[in-house]
């Protein structure tokens, strides 16, 4: 995005699609075209050091299934039009 960082406690009962919308709202991103061109990545504080971040591709998957813990991070990344 613009390098902006926000520390926030997220509800792990949300689905990936709900979390993405929630994060977009935190950064005042409301344009549906722009939201469509954002990817959401999850950084597990232990595993991301070994295998890197995980792209959250499945919109209906619950966040808790990733075993999110305090200190883990999410990142919204803009990708170009295809």
- Arithmetic mean of pLDDT, 39-68: 93
6, part of any domain: no
Residue 64 lies in a domain: yes
Evaluate whether residue 22 is within a structural domain: yes
Structure tokens at 53: 């971040």
In a domain, 30, yes or no: yes
Whether 2 is in a domain gets the answer: no
Q: pTM of this prediction?
A: 0.85
Overall domain count for the chain? 1
The answer to whether residue 11 sits within a structural domain is no
Structural domain of residue 60, as residue ranges? 16-78
CB 70 within 8 A of CB 24: no
Residue 45 in any domain: the answer is yes
53 inside domain: yes
Q: What is the mean pLDDT of the chain?
A: 90
| Rounded CA separation 82/72 (Å) | 30
Work out the percent of the chain whose per-residue pLDDT is above 70: 95
């Amino acid at each position: 995005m613009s390098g902006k960082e926000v520390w926030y406690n997220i509800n792990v009962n949300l689905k990936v699609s709900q979390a993405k919308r929630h994060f977009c709202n935190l950064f005042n991103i409301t344009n549906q075209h722009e939201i469509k061109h954002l990817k959401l990545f999850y950084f597990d504080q232990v595993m991301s050091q070994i295998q890197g971040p995980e792209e959250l591709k499945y919109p209906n998957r619950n966040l808790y299934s990733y075993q999110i813990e305090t200190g883990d991070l999410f990142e919204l990344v803009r990708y170009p039009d295809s």
